[in-house]
A and B are shown apart, each in its own frame.
Chain A
Amino acid sequence: MVVPKHGVFTTRENKVYQMKKLLVSAIPALALSIAVGTAQAGETLDAVKAKGFVQCGVSTGLPGFSVADDKGNWGGLDVDVCKAVAAALFGDAGKVKFSPLTAKERFTALQSGEIDMLSRNTTWTLTRDSNLGLNFAGVNYYDGQGFMVSKKLGVKSAKELSGASVCIQAGTTTELNLADYFRANKMEYEPITYDTSDETVKGFEAGRCDVLTSDQSQLYALRIKLSDPNGAMVLPEVISKEPLGPVVRQGDDDWFNIVRWSLFAMLNAEELGVSMKNVDEMKGSSDPNVRRLLGLEGIKGEGLGLADEWAYNIVKQVGNYGEAFERNVGSGSPLKISRGLNALWNNGGIQYAPPIR
């Protein structure tokens, strides 16, 4: 558009200019409507089979749960769930593509069909299960919210935190639990809400806030990102229940079942003592439970529409739940988180999977 020499728009040019501005502002709105419009309900399984890989939403980088190494390979407990689904579906755990998402982006990405499943340390709540058009397929990590403070602060309990500034990541249940906890204990606080976990850590390190709050597993993970991990400590209080698990779109039952039972297969494998190393020997086992898991007898893969060795592939390529836990967040990792609630039900924890039969 040519601006008149004196820099003054004539009335007519002005109108055209304003109309253009209006149109430009309207485009994102249209994009949003179209994005919601094109994804189709109930057909994820077919679409995934047709394209030949699972598009899995993960975090932008949370050590132990979903993080990319220097070669760009993703690993972690949440990533292993995606890989298990790919192994069950395609017999190849490598057929996964990952979409790193912030807490704010994750549900929209799943609702709009940009990703097939979300495995991103996401808390299962009533609102999310009912209002967002999503379904939680299970729990792969039982977590709870805690607080991390600098040791220099000299605070021993979360009850001493009245008046503190608190760094949080936006778009999480953490924000709500924090508000509830301080309200319930009649304490004041100043919330500093950042967009990504990296900024949250930077704000905490610079002393913008006294406390960093998040799920405890994340606190341990974020602590090793600090320049001086030993200068910070996690307070003993756990102020919430945070069952984290994979999420799929609602109304897509075949797909939902596959994701849910991929997780259950990992748990059942641990319970039955079937691991990555011994899975081939276990094929010779006479235990009917093991034989059903490995697709040698019983319902096999037909109920899920999968190959008979679907669970065998998961264990062979990804491992059982215990192996995935130890490798990513447990003793085999820098996080060194103990099994705690996440031990199997017969071992002092609450991880429990329905039987494969």
Chain B
Amino acid sequence: MSDQPSDAMTPGKPAPWNDPKIRAIVFQALLVGAVVMVGFYLINNTLYNMEQRGISTGFSFLEKESGFGVTQSLIEFDETHSYGRTFIVGLLNTILVSVLGIFFATLLGFVMGVARLSRNWLVARVATAYIEIFRNIPLLLQIFFWYFAVGINFPRPKQSYAIGETLFLNNRGLFMPRPVAEDGFGLVIAALVIAIVGVFFMVRWAHRRQDATGQPFHTVWASIGLILGLPAVAFLAAGSPLTWDMPELRGFNFKGGMSVLPELFALTLALTVYTGTFIAETVRAGIQSVSHGQTEAARALGLREAPMLQLIIIPQAMRVIIPPLTSQYLNLTKNSSLAAAIGYPDLVAVFAGTTLNQTGQAVEIIAMTMAVYLTLSLSISMLMNWYNAKMALRER
């Protein structure tokens, strides 16, 4: 009897079936159980059906010889390599075009986003026209345009545009000399690494100095000097250990040197131009979200335009820009799978295309391909979320 009143008085423990915490756990456990069971059923059913029809399963096909060639490979590859290696080749090509696309789209997007807000009438209208045109044309059409109308409409190899007998542009791609490192080139690389580490510490030192004394330091110029100068000194000291492998026309095509395929060119360009429009709009929204009072306050403090942008406007705008920017990066990576349409050998074209057809193991290959895009997307997400957390408003 004695503890009954206290039960009624304190809001404390409700019955287990009324406890929101316990309920939440039970419902979540039920949901997870249901998902696992459905997944198990589907996998089992698929395996059973495939066995019934004599479709081979498993991943042993990855070790078999592929027997087909690929145009562009970042690692050594020929017909004698395995199907597993075609996966790596395709994956690297996908990553290559995604990284290039993200880099150039970010540059283009930031420039166009800022340009659209420019007080210069012409600049602002050019940016508006660019955004409105390329945002509203389907990406696949843009890829076809850049490929069939531009990329492979350069002259044939024998009539290449040549720039000083070192750069050649034709409908097989852009051919340029390839640097070949000789003995002693390691010194140059070591110098570069030292320069980068030096810049890192210099920036930290400069920040601390400014915090302590208010004296700014010319970090940008000093960094450029360090990163270019130190390897240059090392290069000369080691006796110029570098030769060039020049492209030259032999038979049907150019041999030697490095080349950019028209497929890579068209795909990168299309992804850049298309995604750049969305990034531009994101950037514009970010900058406009910073209230005008901030600009006025900065001017009142006597800051010039550049430091005002760098110290006041951009840090605040970034908080609005980063989350949608992440989505654009994810979109770009996934859109790169349209490569198959113009014969760029990305993961979907090589592995989920040719390899799938030669082996017929659709379930395994599609599952692997999906896992790759999921992993890539989640990695980009994680990276950008980390960056976002770093840039987010710190409430003190």
B45 touches A37 (CB 8 A): yes
Quick check: is B349 within 8 A (CB to CB) of the other chain?
yes
Q: Number of contacting residues on B, CB 8 A?
A: 64
* Interface: B82 (CB within 8 A): no
In the bound complex, CA of A14 to CA of B156 (Å) = 52
B324 at the interface (CB under 8 A from A): yes
B219 on the A face (CB < 8 A):
no
**Cβ-neighbour of A33 out of B42, B56, B349 (below 8 A):** B42
**In the bound complex, do residue A206 and residue B153 qualify as a contact, i.e. CB atoms below 8 Å apart?**
yes
Contact indicator A176/B67 (Cβ below 8 Å): yes
Q: Contacts A7-B323, A180-B67 given; indicate if A162 touches B343 (C-beta within 8 A).
A: no
B251 at the interface (CB under 8 A from A): yes
Residues of A within 8 A of B356 (CB): 104, 171
- Of the candidates A22, A36, A107, A189, the one whose C-beta lies within 8 Å of that of B363 is A36
Interface bits B308-342 vs A (CB < 8 Å: 1, else 0)? 00000000000111111000000000000000111
Whether B363 lies near A208 (C-beta < 8 A) is no
Q: Is B354 an interface residue (CB 8 A)?
A: yes
Q: Contact: A203 with B322, CB < 8 Å?
A: no
Bound complex: CA A172 to CA B69 (Å): 13
C-beta contact mask, A103-119 vs B, less than 8 Å → 1, else 0? Answer: 11001100100000000
The majority secondary structure among interface residues of chain B is helix
> Residues of B contacting A6 with CB < 8 Å?
319-320, 392-393
**A-side contacts of B74, CB under 8 Å:** none
Stretch among B46-54, B177-185, B206-214 lining the A interface: B46-54
CB contact under 8 A between A175 and B68, given known A107-B360, A131-B359, A163-B253: yes
Report the count of interface residues on A (CB-CB < 8 A).
Answer: 63
Determine the distance from Cα of A30 to Cα of B366 in the docked complex, in whole angstroms. 12
> Bound state CA distance, A6 and B319, in angstroms?
7
Residue pair B357, A179 in contact (C-beta under 8 Å): no
A103 touches B46 (CB 8 A): no
From B54, B262, B323, B353, give the contact of A208 (CB < 8 A): B262
Interface contact A3-B323, CB-CB below 8 Å: yes
The answer to whether residues A206 and B71 also contact, given A171-B354, A251-B53 and a CB cut-off of 8 A, is: no
Measured CA separation A166–B308 after assembly (Å): 56
B-chain residues with CB within 8 Å of residue A193 when the two chains form the complex: 70-71, 343, 345, 349, 353-354
B385 beta carbon closer than 8 Å to chain A: yes
- B 123-136 to A, binary, CB cutoff 8 A, 1 in contact else 0: 00000000000000
Quick one: which of A102-157 are within 8 Å of B by CB? 103-104, 107-108, 111, 127-128, 130-133
A contact residues around B319 at 8 Å (CB): 6-8
A193→B339 CA distance, assembly (Å): 11
Chain B 68-80 per-residue mask, 1 if CB under 8 angstroms from chain A, else 0: 1111000000010
Which residues A32-91 have CB closer than 8 A to chain B? Answer: 32-34, 36-37, 39, 41
Which of A194-202, A309-317, A341-349 faces chain B?
A194-202
**Distance of A199 Cα from B148 Cα, bound (Å):** 9
Please give me the residue from chain B that is nearest to A167 by CB atom.
B343
A194 with B42: CB separation less than 8 A:
no
How far is the CB of A211 from the nearest CB of chain B, in Å?
9
Which has the most chain B C-beta neighbours within 10 Å: A130, A179, A182?
A179
Verify if A230 is at the interface (C-beta below 8 Å from B). no
12 A/B residue pairs, CB under 8 Å, sorted by A:
A3-B323, A8-B319, A28-B370, A32-B366, A107-B357, A107-B362, A176-B358, A190-B71, A193-B71, A199-B343, A206-B171, A251-B52
Question: A residues engaging B (CB < 8 A)?
Answer: 3, 6-9, 14, 18, 21-22, 25, 28-30, 32-34, 36-37, 39, 41, 103-104, 107-108, 111, 127-128, 130-133, 161-165, 170-172, 175-176, 178-180, 182-183, 189-195, 199, 202-203, 206-208, 210, 249-251
Q: Which 10 A-B pairs have the closest CB atoms?
A: A171-B357, A133-B55, A33-B42, A133-B53, A132-B360, A163-B251, A37-B45, A7-B320, A206-B152, A208-B152
B contact residues vs A (CB 8 Å cutoff): 42-43, 45-46, 49-50, 52-56, 67-71, 79, 148, 152-153, 156, 171-172, 250-253, 255, 262-263, 319-324, 340-343, 345, 349, 353-354, 356-363, 366-367, 370, 373-374, 377-378, 381, 385, 388, 392-393
